[in-house]
Amino acid sequence: MKILIPFVALATLISFSTDAGATPRPGGIPLTSQKSAFPFPIVEKTLANGLRIFVVPFDSPGLVAYYSVVRTGSRNEVEPGKSGFAHFFEHMMFRGTERYATERYNAEIKAMGADSNAFTTEDMTVYHILAGKSALARVVEIEADRFLNLKYDEPSFEKEARAVLGEYNKGSSDPMQKMAEVLYDHAFAVHTYKHTTIGFLRDIEDMPHQFDYSRQFFDRYYRPDNVILLVVGDVTGDEVFPLVEKAYGAWTRGPARPPVPVESPQTREQRATVAWKGASLPMLFLGYHAPAFSTTSIDGPALDVLAELLFAERSRLHKHLVLDEQKVETLEGGEGRHVDPNLFLVLARVKQAKDMAYVESAIGKEITRIAAEGVDGKAMGEVISHARYAFAAQLSTPDQVAQVGADFLALAGRLSAIDEYFARLGQVKSADLQRVARTYFTPQNRTVVTLQPETP
């Protein structure tokens, strides 16, 4: 199991980056030769209870990826004092049912030669299994059972809550965890992006006392009208749909779910400093409020292109700060895709604390330069071409295709959003980059966190 920290590692235009080499699709035809960014057949069905199933036949003889996308992440933890429960249920869903207790579930996965895991982000919780096609019926059966019949008592709940606290404490040795906590806490006033996916420490410490609330959380969000199944591989809809309808058909819709608070525009810069006792370079962490994922607005794709131009290894800023002056060890930046407006993040690991202000100023000056001068068409074309090529390169296995698909299903509820997004990406012009640079990269829209290692 893994929890995803809300930071974009490099200014990638895709969420699940892999080797950017020339990986062809099965059959030897590079995806970049296709008009569609997601050039696979898609069949879809919605059950009477609201459960949606997407099946993507993919040339992977005998292999199937089975993804259960719960459209709930830490974003949905709206009650004060209750952060961390989306991630907590990533743990609890492996506690078993009356029919498949933990030991039996693990034995079944092992017997199938399958791989089962999960991850949590701000916007989704995803459970995934990679298995042989011959095991598809059993996979559907055991996954439906734990979604419909998860069972745990108060002692097991308290044990898992303490395990989450242990996970938090383990992660606290990483300065990035602390910096992310401080950045988001300062950048957001009311929206639930204010806390990271693992939750506030005070809430995690109190979690063992929240048994009754845990039942309410599960009842609210683990319902068929809030879950999407994605099956990719050596399958057809005719093979999948009857199995799913039989296994999940009795699952009932859930109660009304509370709305997520809407964040007002930030009106003044926020700053904070994190003192760090462990070994670390000084770090500069910037967060600029940025728009939610959209397939109709050009702003998100423009920010993706801008991120590549500003922070990729071939960028002017990287050459200036990392290679020429050698004041910065690593420079990263980008905006992840999110259901609601989130942050465009910039991270610089600075070699000497005395250069922190200089590095921050250099980043600002380069953004200002692009806002004023724009970018030549050749550079933009290279970025967009690279984005499509890198995206194509990662669609070489059913598991990779399902990872990408799960992201877009959680955000937009449909796989067609992939092609819609890339269509917008291809429409980005230099004027769009200038406009978004002027609009979003302003001091009043910025939160700045610095990490200052304590000298012995």
Q: What is the pLDDT of residue 355?
A: 98
pTM of the model: 0.91
Residue boundaries of the structural domains of the chain: 31-248, 270-453
Separation between Cα atoms, residue 219 and residue 225, nearest integer Å: 12
The per-residue pLDDT for range 148-157, each reduced to its tens digit, is 999 999 999 9
Separation between Cα atoms, residue 450 and residue 147, nearest integer Å: 42
User: Which of 259, 260, 244, 237 has the alpha carbon at shortest distance from 50?
Assistant: 244
**Homologous superfamily of 270-453:** Metalloenzyme, LuxS/M16 peptidase-like (3.30.830.10)
> The domain 31-248 is classified under which CATH number: 2.120.10.30, 3.60.40.10, 3.30.830.10, 3.40.190.170?
3.30.830.10
**DSSP states of 297-321:** -SHHHHHHHHHHHHHSTTSHHHIII
Q: What is the pLDDT of residue 388?
A: 87
Q: What is the pLDDT of residue 456?
A: 61
CB count in 10 Å sphere of residue 314: 12
**Is 33 a residue whose pLDDT tops 60?**
no
The per-residue pLDDT for range 260-279, each reduced to its tens digit, is 999 999 999 999 999 999 89
Answer for the pair 290, 344: CB distance below 8 angstroms, yes or no.
yes
Answer for the pair 68, 123: CB distance below 8 angstroms, yes or no.
no
Separation between Cα atoms, residue 15 and residue 155, nearest integer Å: 37
Q: What is the pLDDT of residue 394?
A: 87
pLDDT average, residue stretch 233-241: 98
**Do the two domains 31-248 and 270-453 of this chain adopt the same fold?**
yes
- Interhelix angle 377-393/416-425, rounded to 10 degrees, is 160
Separation between Cα atoms, residue 432 and residue 199, nearest integer Å: 36
**For strand 52-57 and strand 342-350, is the pairing parallel, antiparallel, or unpaired?**
unpaired
pLDDT average, residue stretch 229-235: 98
Answer for the pair 117, 2: CB distance below 8 angstroms, yes or no.
yes
Helix (H, G, I), strand (E, B) or coil at 333: strand
User: Which of 377, 364, 371, 370 has the alpha carbon at shortest distance from 446?
Assistant: 364
Separation between Cα atoms, residue 447 and residue 455, nearest integer Å: 25
pLDDT average, residue stretch 122-138: 98
Task: Report residue 134 as tokens.
Answer: 């011959």
- What is the rounded average pLDDT for all residues in the chain? 91
**% of the chain with per-residue pLDDT over 90:** 87
The 8-class DSSP code of residue 322 comes to I
Task: Report residue 104 as tokens.
Answer: 């039996």
**Is 27 a residue whose pLDDT tops 70?**
no
**Is 66 a residue whose pLDDT tops 60?**
yes
pLDDT average, residue stretch 26-54: 76
Q: Which of 32-46, 78-92, 165-179, 272-286 has the lowest mean pLDDT?
A: 32-46
Q: What is the pLDDT of residue 400?
A: 96
Task: Report residue 33 as tokens.
Answer: 């030769």
The per-residue pLDDT for range 418-428, each reduced to its tens digit, is 999 999 999 99
Separation between Cα atoms, residue 56 and residue 65, nearest integer Å: 10
The per-residue pLDDT for range 433-449, each reduced to its tens digit, is 999 999 999 999 999 99
What's the pLDDT band for 10 if we cut at 50, 70, 90? very low
**Is 309 a residue whose pLDDT tops 80?**
yes
Residue predicted with more confidence, 406 or 24: 406
Q: Kindly tell me the number of DSSP H helices and DSSP E strands found in the chain.
A: 15, 12
**Is 5 a residue whose pLDDT tops 80?**
no
**Is 13 a residue whose pLDDT tops 90?**
no
* Residue partners of 336: CB distance under 8 A and separation at least 6: 6, 8, 15, 342, 345
What's the pLDDT band for 315 if we cut at 50, 70, 90? very high
Q: Which of 352-361, 367-376, 387-396 has the lowest mean pLDDT?
A: 387-396
